[in-house]
Structure 1
């Protein structure tokens, strides 16, 4: 009960401070998608092959408050998690023992990302800042990027340009930052919920706002595709490791889009509401045809090639964040129940 009261007080405090902001800038709005869910943890059998298994291998109480995001380091040895308590914790994935806690943000953590190529970690927050940390020597942040006029909702590192980081805020502004010189190098509009660079190639940036995903050319900021079809706001987007496919998740729909030449921007798979409230997603690190979807209390494993699903009880609250490591084959889930779990 104490945690509930504390979280409510936090929400009311930020409502007062930002009462003239949009709902996207409201703490309670950001963490209130897990009211009820009628679904029983009984799913349809998912066919992959006889070797396929997906079981919980470890878990940890990661926070005193709701956890909303997580991400693996490029070598799979570390997992970062963050949420309502304003802290980011780095965990050793082999034991889920904490390595360190980063505590410079003054409001909830909305996103956390490791660089794919160098030992850096970036975090975004409702305090309107983006911070960059040395993942090995983490006494304090290396950079604090200021300039967003609304809560920063998401961020990402470019896969090939070590100096480039991107962030978006609740007012729909996207900013590119130079890590080396500490300055904003580009500003444009069209992202509010989440931004993700295309892995491997780094040619595109996917930006979710309302019920549309915009695909931007990273060099020119020209919008190459508008991915339309969701009827409700999109919570999460993720690329597959090849950068050829993008998944997008709203409360009642999951869509997978092709960005391959010849059918760029085409929706090739669509999973509609089946009782779960969808929220987060990640492609399975070992089975390309499987998308792992975070719901309220459950994980949904969707075999896209056969359009079959399996539902697994996983948490006591909304699964707000998912991450996958192709190095270890692990999937991580971060939940409003304050727990982080590892699956394989």
Structure 2
């Protein structure tokens, strides 16, 4: 690998920056209006008033990731205590506790069917568990260990019970056949760690966020990005598809959240908290797409009216960084995880 002060590398980076700036200038020329002005005739969204319906305690260390099941009731969390916990968000009860071989879990995923969960992190591996089958100790059976990464596993999402897609610190996206345990696709997706993956509502495409400050749109059948979106000034920590399938939201280390439109190939809106003092770790959208939720370093979840670009409120309760959030597929609730070791259900 060439050293950072290599003259050829510096020249290439300069050329790349110039190309980025040219693209941004061309996009600005096409932007004939803003989302706020186009929606000026739309009534303001009412203030969203969510409260903590369940405070779920059980982890003994920082909780790094949470994801809802397709049944809108159960969720899975992964913590640095080396455990996955399956929760019933209606009652707050623990349904299953799954001990992990590695405590350094960074991402979890719940299959839409509710049959499987997956996790991974600094062990450079994606591990899949079958919730309907138990091993001799009564714990959910591990059915796959998907190895072959040159970096940490940062994100994973089930495409169904037979396939999963993963992003990692080696800048790659991999798709796996869970029946054979083999990769069906393996390609470099970004110029930095892949941090987040969000699947489109129709399942035909997905969007990724990266520490290279960009987001990319992909077709499930291809290994080249359809589109690359610029604008963020630091790591894109989270991406979330709009329910319409025509846009997606982002949360970034640069203390902003944004909305990008796929059809016009550019940024639609730039959302800032009342006091820009911390970055955003995670984001999610309401079922209508009208409300954007972003988990933050400041221990809160910030909300915006996406159409009017107005800060709509704050969910306060966590006592440390909010690491991850997941909106129930039917929109009935939002679940958040935090470094304070707790998981909260808001509704």
Q: TM-score, normalised by structure 1?
A: 0.79
Match for residue 9 of structure 1?
none
Distance 2:308 2:331 in 1: 26
The equivalent residue for 2:166 is 167
Determine if contact 1:155/1:194 at 8 Å carries over to the other structure: no
| In 2: Cα distance, 1:86 partner to 1:318 partner | 19
Q: What residue in structure 1 maps to residue 222 of structure 2?
A: 220
Unaligned runs of 5+ in 1: 1-45
* Deviation (angstroms), 1:84: 1.3
Q: How does 1:229-268 map to 2 (within 5 A)?
A: 229-251=231-253, 252-259=255-262, 262-263=263-264, 265-268=265-268
Q: Is the 8 A contact 1:127 1:151 kept in 2?
A: yes
For the residues of structure 2 that align with 1:190 and 1:206, how far apart are their CA atoms? Answer: 11
Q: Give the aligned CA root-mean-square deviation in angstroms.
A: 2.0
Match of 2:293 in 1: 292
1:118 Cα deviation after fit = 5.5
Q: Is the 8 A contact 1:80 1:88 kept in 2?
A: yes
Number of aligned residue pairs: 292
The 5 Å alignment of 1:116-131 reads 116-117=112-113, 119-131=115-127
Report how far residue 197 of structure 1 moved.
4.3
| Structure 1 residues 220-260: Cα deviation after superposition (integer angstroms, max 9, x where no partner) | 1121111110001111111233433211111211111123x
User: Is 2:242–2:248's contact at 8 Å kept on the other side of the alignment?
Assistant: yes
Number of the residue aligned with 1:272:
272
Cα distance in structure 2, aligned partners of 1:243 and 1:99: 33
Three-state SS of the structure 2 residue aligned to 1:153 is strand
Deviation (angstroms), 1:194 = 2.7
Contact 2:65–2:337, Cα closer than 8 Å, also in 1: yes
C-alpha distance in structure 1 between counterparts of 2:327 and 2:132, whole Å: 21
Structure 1 stretches of at least 4 aligned residues deviating more than 6 Å after TM superposition: none
Tell me, yes or no, if structure 1 residue 112 matches structure 2 residue 144: no
**Matched residue of 1:316: which SS?**
coil
Can you list the C-alpha shifts for 1:147-176, whole angstroms capped at 9, x where unaligned? 112211111112xx5422111221212211
Separation of aligned partners in 2, 1:276 and 1:247: 20
| 1:73-102 alpha-carbon deviations (Å, 9 max, x no partner) | 101121111121221100111111111111
Do the aligned residues in 1 keep the contact of 2:335 with 2:343 (CA within 8 Å)? yes
- 1:313 maps to what in 2? 316
* Structure 2 residue aligned with 1:154: 155
